[in-house]
């Protein structure tokens, strides 16, 4: 197993250290991607396509309010605003990403509908029952699921829909001590919930489970990220130097190996009754 000497201190620094690489590869859509069989498209195009899949599931329109929990730099939320015309609040613990998101909203003249805030998903800065829908778009892996699901439930209106993509649902076998140490110390994922127990967790909080489906081709997505590290080697070296390149190279290879070995990626849709 590869040894990674450079270690981020927290989730915010993790994304900062990988930030420019993620911008190159994902162009803001830093999440799962959909590839059809034999489809020759970029990872960005496949990730943007998956954004649209989720947006199609959001039953909102003008005058309604949506919460993006772990919003990154805001691109999926702004696509939602453009296509649905709803109001969006995004939250993230990274001040740098929130600044980027608000600047992008202003650039696209959407700042009246899209607001991004530095906040913790475990203590959302909103009153009870104010949002018509929301999502955790590949962000919940860094959070204590039982806590943040309860907070999401609190701020949703009755009938409100919550969409979740969770990339760390165990396949069923044991996770080695080395893998678990890497995930907690380098990727900052919270303890995973087994697929058998996950629906019960949601129901105990009060949610009605509408979808709980494994997503296809997760191994392909991880492999493409690793390939892109090699493809963009000279570009990463030009702005990050060898230390950052080696960190990104080793990090993504190790993440890919661990995730393919241990986890599946799920799309979860729940409703607050």
DSSP letter assigned to residue 128 = T
Residue 163 pairs in a beta bridge with 135, 269
pLDDT at 36 over 90: no
Q: What is the pLDDT of residues 68-82, one digit of tens each?
A: 999 999 999 999 999
Domain ranges of the chain: 11-271
Q: Cα separation of 192 and 195, whole Å?
A: 9
Q: Cα separation of 19 and 26, whole Å?
A: 10
What's this model's pTM, rounded to 2 decimal places? 0.91
Q: What residue has token string 């496949």?
A: 46
CB distance 252 to 24 below 8 Å? no
Burial of 96 (0-12, 13-18, 19+ CB in 10 A): middle
Specify the CATH class of 11-271 in words: alpha beta
- Give the length of the chain: 273
Q: What is the pLDDT of residues 218-254, one digit of tens each?
A: 888 888 888 888 988 998 888 888 988 888 889 889 9
Pairing of strands 208-214, 156-170: unpaired
Residue 190 pairs in a beta bridge with none
Distances (CA, A) of 247 to 99, 112, 218, 241, 254: 25, 39, 22, 10, 11
Rg, the chain, Cα only: 18
Q: Cα separation of 238 and 258, whole Å?
A: 29
Confidence of residue 23 (pLDDT cuts 50, 70, 90): confident
């Amino acid at each position: 197993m590869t040894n990674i000497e450079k270690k981020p201190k927290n989730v915010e620094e993790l994304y900062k250290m990988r930030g420019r690489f993620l911008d190159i590869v994902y162009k803001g859509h830093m999440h799962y991607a959909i590839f059809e069989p034999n489809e020759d498209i970029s990872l960005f195009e496949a990730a943007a396509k998956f954004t649209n899949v989720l947006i199609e599931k959001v039953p909102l329109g003008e005058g309604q309010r949506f919460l993006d929990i772990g919003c990154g730099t805001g691109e999926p939320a702004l696509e939602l605003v453009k296509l649905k015309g709803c109001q969006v609040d995004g939250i993230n613990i990274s001040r740098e990403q929130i600044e980027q998101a608000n600047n992008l909203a202003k650039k696209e003249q959407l700042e009246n509908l899209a607001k991004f805030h530095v906040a913790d998903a475990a203590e959302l800065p909103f009153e009870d029952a104010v949002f018509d829908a929301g999502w955790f778009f590949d962000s919940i892996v860094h959070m204590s699921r039982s806590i943040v699901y309860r907070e999401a439930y609190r701020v949703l209106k009755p009938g409100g829909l919550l969409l979740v993509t969770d990339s760390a649902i165990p396949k069923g076998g044991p996770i080695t001590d080395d893998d678990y140490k890497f995930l907690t110390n380098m990727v900052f994922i919270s303890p995973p919930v087994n697929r058998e127990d996950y629906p019960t967790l949601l129901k105990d909080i009060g949610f009605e489970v509408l979808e709980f489906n494994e997503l296809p081709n997760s191994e392909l997505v991880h492999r493409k990220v690793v390939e892109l590290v090699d493809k963009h080697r000279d570009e990463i070296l030009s702005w990050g130097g060898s230390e950052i390149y080696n960190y990104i190279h080793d990090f993504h290879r190790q993440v890919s190996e661990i995730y393919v070995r241990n986890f599946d990626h799920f799309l979860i849709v729940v409703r607050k009754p």
